[in-house]
Amino acid sequence: MVRNIANKVIIITGASSGIGRETALLLAREGARLVLVARRDRLLQELPADLRLPLDLTRREDVQQMIADTRGKFGRIDVLINNAGFGFFGTVESTPPQVVKEIFALNFEAPFTAIQLVIPLMREQKSGQIINISSVAGKRGLPLSGVYSATKFALDGLTQALRLELKDSGIDVCLINPAGTQTEFFEQVRRGDVAGKFRPMGHIQPASAVAEAIVRCIRKPRIEVYPYRVSRIVAWANAVAPSLVDRMMIPFFHDRIRAKTGP
Ligand SMILES: NC(=O)c1ccc[n+]([C@@H]2O[C@H](COP(=O)([O-])OP(=O)(O)OC[C@H]3O[C@@H](n4cnc5c(N)ncnc54)[C@H](OP(=O)(O)O)[C@@H]3O)[C@@H](O)[C@H]2O)c1
């Protein structure tokens, strides 16, 4: 059955730019009641919303406030879109412990906490949807993106477990795996032992294509969505024959591997 989006209470984290921003614009047109969350309030103010929460989701108390304020204002939460995230380029051997802490805090712990806090309410409602924005990098590790990939693999594992735990609860759990997407992501990415810039590999999709896939997933929930369909083949091939995918990837990642400054 195709669901109506009008009047649904939808939280979007990381709504100030990129995929989150485009998703907010599409959902506003559908008449959703939007709760937009990010640190840059100035950018949130440019978007149509029912509630704007300038919060730093690496802080547990800010995640708690996001859920409490939404519940306080609307009395319900229909969809939680865990989208906020950042990347890190650097070798595994040189990734600083502080980066590991900070990237897991935003890309994994924030969704984890938000999910824990929203489930009791969605259980009471006997309905709801949790959408986690992962990545193709959550299906296949990429050189110089080890810790970023690890956060997305963690989110994938969590999502799979949750899906089974919430079976028959009326709560849908969905994972979105974008390929390279045209957003601020590559400007904001933190850098370790890499020199210069290198372009993301392969097909780059517009943020609007990912946003449209998210909206379709709200209308008709799916377990896993690949907004760029070809990347599903990469995920599938890697599950079946990772050594073959290693061999196929090495030529594509020549520039990236050469960009490292270490030994
Ligand atoms: N772009 C890609 O190629 C790509 C590919 C696959 C998956 N993804 C995933 O898609 C998601 C969205 O990324 P994007 O590409 O749209 O990148 P983006 O344009 O850089 O957006 C990231 C969003 O996260 C927010 N954010 C960052 N740190 C935050 C914090 N501490 N607290 C609250 N919000 C924070 C940012 O807002 P503020 O700075 O205002 O806080 C921004 O709204 C991420 O999870 C990313 O891993 C991206």
Of 88, 89, 108, 148, catalytic? 148
Q: Distance from the CA of 183 to the center of ligand 1, in angstroms? A: 8
Which residue is it, tokens 């990010």?
38
Provide the pLDDT for residue 209.
98
**For residue 133, which atom of ligand 1 is closest to its CA?**
45
Catalytic site includes residue 228: no
Rounded distance, CA 223 to CA 230, Å?
A: 17
Provide the pLDDT for residue 196.
67
All structural domains of the chain with their residue ranges: 9-258
Ligand 1 pocket check for 57: Cβ under 6 Å: yes
Q: Please, what is the angle between helix 242-252 and helix 230-240, to 10°?
A: 130
Query: Contact at 8 Å (CB) between 19 and 26?
Result: no
Rounded distance, CA 218 to CA 232, Å?
A: 20
Provide the pLDDT for residue 1.
79
Query: Contact at 8 Å (CB) between 51 and 70?
Result: yes
CATH for 9-258 is 3.40.50.720
Ligand 1 pocket check for 231: Cβ under 6 Å: no
Provide the pLDDT for residue 254.
75
From 37, 134, 185, 198, mutation site for ligand 1 pocket: most ligand atoms within 8 A of C-beta: 185
Instruction: Give this prediction's pTM.
Output: 0.97
**Helix/strand/coil (H, E, C) string of 172-227?**
EEEEECCCCEECCHHHHCEECCECCCCCCCCCCEEHHHHHHHHHHHHHCCCCEECC
Per-residue pLDDT of the chain (263 residues; tens, 9 = 90+): 789 999 999 999 999 999 999 999 999 999 999 999 999 999 999 999 999 999 999 999 999 999 999 999 999 999 999 999 999 999 999 999 999 999 999 999 999 999 999 999 999 999 999 999 999 999 999 989 999 999 999 999 999 999 999 999 999 999 999 999 999 999 999 999 988 666 666 789 999 999 999 999 999 999 999 999 999 999 999 999 999 999 988 887 777 777 777 66
From 83, 104, 208, 210, mutation site for ligand 1 pocket: most ligand atoms within 8 A of C-beta: 83
Q: Distance from the CA of 109 to the center of ligand 1, in angstroms? A: 15
Ligand 1 pocket check for 40: Cβ under 6 Å: yes
Provide the pLDDT for residue 235.
95
End-to-end CA gap in the chain: 55
